[in-house]
Amino acid sequence: MSSVSQPLPASLEQIVQRFHQISEPKRRYEYLLYFAKRLPPFPDEQKVVAHRVPGCVSQVYVTARLEQGKVIFQGDSDSQLTKGLVGLLVEGLSGLTPAEVIQLKPDFIQRTGLDISLTPSRANGFYNIFQTMQQKALVYHLAATCLRT
């Protein structure tokens, strides 16, 4: 098995590099909370079962829309740390094409050092959020594929 991970999109690489530069776990959490604060307000009317991320202990919601061939994500959580994970992924994945989103592997979380600091339930939540975002991107990818055929 190769230890070389796939190249990340620039937006996500920048986030990963910044986390990688932070050696103290407490500072990583502070940076994660920074992403929670940067998330735009999530409309209450969007907090419905269809947008809920399954398998998360916290209430987590993610929506996606397509603008000029790029996926734009929005999200929220009732837990600040989980909201930070949502914010990290929203910033890192928004603006990518559906194909770019679905090709990503979640192993980039290891390069941030967060995987060591997160509780098992939060780490699991991260993967569930990531997977939900990929599934939403896949819908757009498949729709575009069907339109071309």
Taking alpha carbons only, the member of 21, 26, 131 closest to residue 81 is 26
Catalytic residue among 56, 81, 85, 93: 56
Any catalytic annotation for residue 56? yes
Distance CA 89, CA 44 (A): 20
Three-state SS letters, the chain: CCCCCCCCCHHHHHHHHHHHHCCCHHHHHHHHHHHHHHCCCCCHHHCCHHHECCCCCCCEEEEEEEECCEEEEEEEECCHHHHHHHHHHHHHHCCECHHHHHHCCCCHHHHHCHHHHCCHHHHHHHHHHHHHHHHHHHHHHHHHHHHHC
Q: Which residues are catalytic?
A: 56
